[in-house]
Chain A
Amino acid sequence: MSVAQFGGQVAAEAGGPGAGEVEQERRRGRVGYLLLLPGLLWLVIFFLVPTVQLVATGLYDPNGSLDTGYAMTWSFSNYWDVLVQYQEQFLRSFGYALIATIACIFLGYPLSYAIAFKAGRWKNLMLVLVIAPFFTSFLVRTLAWKSILSDNGLIVETLKTLQLIPEDGRLLATPVAVVTGLTYNFLPFMVLPLYASLEKIDPRLIEASKDLYASGVTSFRKVTLPLSAPGLVAGTLLTFIPAAGDYINSELLGTPQQRMIGNVIDNLFLVQLDYPAAAASSVLLMVAIVCLVVFYVRRAGTEDLL
């Protein structure tokens, strides 16, 4: 915003554009809108229309069914009903997503930092390794975690031997397993944007800060961390948003006690065929996430991301 003001000042000082320039400016503006058109069409057809449809479905008569058809009864109560009925799953989703995102930050930041500043000629290889899991399916990777965390698996056996968990303790089918799965699956979405913003930092800025009496730790706090904030914010969003709506991890690694809102929606749509309730839950999830994101980005002071 301040940059725009600055630009405006410069234009004003230059005496303002002449008549011919105004005409040219206008034509350039038209070309800009023309270029926007395909993308706009795409968004309208594949985003706006379905979203409106989804919101509308959430207002249909809850007593209708696939066979009898749904009547539009403006049943705002659908929204209230699902909120009350599934508030536990809503809260659990945001709780798990939050913990997984924090875990991703603590695992991902050192990793991105090492790749950006310390990896030397191994940099590209390490980046490929970060992305490598994407070459197999999300489902298969989560299934792999199921066997890793299984009751007779190496990890549980080792923890038992070390007496870190009791003899009848288990990892699978616990909140720990679900959060672990979420953390694992979304870690690359934290690492990549973080890496991109760390990579861009001019190492001379760190040197300048050390020259100005900042120790290594202070340089990190005062220079590296603030300069990587855009990557951190982007990474948090890319991790938190899909994690909050995820249902695979809970499905495969948890039990009904670890159900998240994604599982509820999945069940409402595909098993119970209760479309109004499913749509209402989806819309609520979306609204909640948008509110959280706006609040977070405001707090982080990185509005340019929105």
Chain B
Amino acid sequence: MADGRSAGADLTLTGVTKRFGGFAAVDDLDLEVASGQFFALLGPSGCGKTTTLRMVAGLEEPTAGTITIGGDDIGRLKPYKRPVNTVFQNYALFPHLNIFENVAFGLRRRGVKDVKSQVDDMLELVELGGYAKRRPAQLSGGQQQRVALARALINRPQVLLLDEPLGALDLKLRRQMQIELKRIQTEVGITFIHVTHDQEEAMTMADTVAVMNKGVIEQMGAPADLYDNPATTFVSNFLGQSNLVKASILDTHGDALVVDVQGTRIAAPVARARRTDGQVWVGVRPEKVFLGAAGVEEGSYDDNVLPSGTVTDVSFIGVSTQYLVKMPWGQELTVFEQNTGAREQFRVGDKVDLHWVAAHTFLLDADQDAHAGDETYAALSGAPTA
């Protein structure tokens, strides 16, 4: 806790479990965050994100497991002894103190000198220079959020925990704050653990994203890697959208698998297959697919093609058009086409084939629920998410 500790430290959670009564809010969680990383913890509401952060901050005691920061076991330390600070989900600013004293709180408790200049610098950093004398209630939501950030950041913790700090902001301010947060993190080099249930936010900001579901981490990796290579149906649906079609693997040809999709043969790279035999979900992202008139050759000869669909819905979204295509086996698949103006537009009722580059195919275990993590489906059908 000596001063001058500026850079972050790595954080590890090993076998961390938290039970409330019989219910495991966090279940045998393993996590490793390298020093100085911007790490996003992404998951639906109630999956245990806040509980995980609270255990790191020391506000909740793990039922089992160990937590270390920079190699030191901090699992049993009191919260005020940990080199960790939190930006709370609802800011939790002290209403009886002005902005200056809110930000100075941590410094004063540690008996730091030159509080005034540090607080002034920090308020400049979050662009609230003129607001030092105001009370929290006199600030807008976005300003309060920045105060909460300043109040935590000024202590130069080794790890900064951010619990959906942008949750209460409107879209525009949110985007602005995302850029600002990212800039600040790069500037100070502290390890950030950023909790969110906004997948776009996680992917744009983080070096590493962990997708969490029902108290466990489903998959962890670089955003692009997670998006292109989902390991589970939950990740494929929660991070962006996916078309998942029931299929069975017929054969292996070198580094490609031959898959039978409802009577049509397609190819899938072995590298992106989570199973190499038996029943699978064939997955492809809607924006990777393009439509062609039925029976007409399109793209290159080794593309995957699913023939004989019927367009059932066309929605114009500005940059792209979203098609729903009903396949012969009754399933509706989604296709996003860029509105380049160079390609043919289809109407409801048109017969079409679906084409995509074989390398974009991924295969998932058919034992998993195809709708896991699909929030629109859950909302429409009333089924629980996950």
Chain B's nearest CB lies how many Å from the CB of A200?
10
| Chain A CB within 10 Å, residue with most, of B84, B92, B137, B151 | B92
Return chain B residues, CB-CB under 8 Å to A222: 105, 109
Return chain A residues, CB-CB under 8 Å to B137: 3
Interface membership of A297, Cβ < 8 A: no
Interface membership of A81, Cβ < 8 A: no
Contact indicator B110/A208 (Cβ below 8 Å): no
Interface membership of B316, Cβ < 8 A: no
- Once bound together, how far apart are the Cα atoms of A279 and B84, in whole Å? 65
Contact indicator B138/A212 (Cβ below 8 Å): no
B263-287 Cβ-contact flags toward A at 8 Å (1 or 0): 0000000000000000000000000
Q: Given A205-B92, A205-B94, A226-B96, A212–B151 Cβ distance below 8 Å?
A: yes
Q: Given A212-B109, A212-B155, A227-B95, A204–B80 Cβ distance below 8 Å?
A: no
The chain A residue sitting closest to B90, CB to CB, is A204
Contact partner, B78, options A204, A205, A210, A212, Cβ 8 Å: A210
Interface membership of B334, Cβ < 8 A: no
- Once bound together, how far apart are the Cα atoms of A207 and B92, in whole Å? 9
Interface membership of A106, Cβ < 8 A: no
Interface membership of B144, Cβ < 8 A: no
Chain B's nearest CB lies how many Å from the CB of A87?
40
Interface membership of B229, Cβ < 8 A: no
Return chain A residues, CB-CB under 8 Å to B151: 212
Return chain B residues, CB-CB under 8 Å to A212: 80, 85, 105-106, 109, 151-152, 155
- Once bound together, how far apart are the Cα atoms of A226 and B97, in whole Å? 10
- Once bound together, how far apart are the Cα atoms of A207 and B59, in whole Å? 7
Contact partner, A213, options B92, B93, B95, B109, Cβ 8 Å: B109
- Once bound together, how far apart are the Cα atoms of A218 and B280, in whole Å? 58
Q: Given A6-B138, A211-B80, A202–B92 Cβ distance below 8 Å?
A: yes
- Once bound together, how far apart are the Cα atoms of A214 and B110, in whole Å? 8
- Once bound together, how far apart are the Cα atoms of A94 and B308, in whole Å? 95
The chain B residue sitting closest to A9, CB to CB, is B138
Interface membership of B167, Cβ < 8 A: no
Return chain A residues, CB-CB under 8 Å to B57: 211
Chain A's nearest CB lies how many Å from the CB of B198?
22
Interface membership of A223, Cβ < 8 A: yes
Interface membership of B236, Cβ < 8 A: no
Contact partner, B80, options A202, A215, A223, A227, Cβ 8 Å: A215
A 214-258 contacts with B by CB, 8 A:
214-215, 218, 222-223, 226-227
Give the secondary structure class of A's interface.
helix
Q: Given A208-B88, A211-B80, A3–B96 Cβ distance below 8 Å?
A: no
Interface membership of B86, Cβ < 8 A: yes
Contact indicator B109/A214 (Cβ below 8 Å): yes
The chain B residue sitting closest to A213, CB to CB, is B109
Contact indicator A227/B96 (Cβ below 8 Å): yes
Return chain A residues, CB-CB under 8 Å to B174: none
The chain B residue sitting closest to A6, CB to CB, is B138
Interface membership of A174, Cβ < 8 A: no
Return chain B residues, CB-CB under 8 Å to A210: 58-59, 78-80
Return chain A residues, CB-CB under 8 Å to B106: 212-213
The total of chain B residues at the interface (CB under 8 A) is 26
Contact indicator B85/A211 (Cβ below 8 Å): yes
Interface membership of B360, Cβ < 8 A: no
Interface membership of A136, Cβ < 8 A: no
The total of chain A residues at the interface (CB under 8 A) is 20
Return chain B residues, CB-CB under 8 Å to A202: 92
A 186-214 contacts with B by CB, 8 A:
202, 204-205, 207-214
Interface membership of A2, Cβ < 8 A: yes
Interface membership of B214, Cβ < 8 A: no
Chain A's nearest CB lies how many Å from the CB of B134?
8
Chain B's nearest CB lies how many Å from the CB of A229?
8
Interface membership of B246, Cβ < 8 A: no
Return chain A residues, CB-CB under 8 Å to B85: 211-212
Contact indicator A204/B105 (Cβ below 8 Å): no
- Once bound together, how far apart are the Cα atoms of A66 and B17, in whole Å? 84
Return chain A residues, CB-CB under 8 Å to B86: 208, 211
Contact indicator B155/A213 (Cβ below 8 Å): yes
B50-74 Cβ-contact flags toward A at 8 Å (1 or 0): 0000000111000000000000000
- Once bound together, how far apart are the Cα atoms of A204 and B155, in whole Å? 19
Return chain A residues, CB-CB under 8 Å to B80: 210-215
The chain B residue sitting closest to A210, CB to CB, is B79
Return chain B residues, CB-CB under 8 Å to A208: 86, 88, 92-94
Contact indicator A211/B79 (Cβ below 8 Å): yes
- Once bound together, how far apart are the Cα atoms of A214 and B109, in whole Å? 6
The chain B residue sitting closest to A206, CB to CB, is B92
Residues of B within 8 A of A (CB): 57-59, 78-80, 84-86, 88, 90, 92-96, 105-106, 109-110, 135, 137-138, 151-152, 155
29 A-B residue pairs with CB within 8 Å: A3-B138, A202-B92, A204-B88, A204-B92, A205-B94, A207-B59, A207-B79, A207-B92, A208-B93, A210-B58, A211-B57, A211-B59, A211-B80, A211-B86, A211-B152, A212-B80, A212-B105, A212-B106, A212-B152, A213-B106, A213-B110, A213-B155, A214-B80, A214-B109, A218-B109, A222-B109, A223-B96, A227-B95, A227-B96
Give me 12 other A-B pairs in contact (C-beta within 8 A), A205-B94, A214-B109 excluded: A3-B137, A6-B138, A202-B92, A204-B92, A208-B93, A208-B94, A210-B59, A211-B59, A212-B80, A212-B151, A213-B109, A223-B96
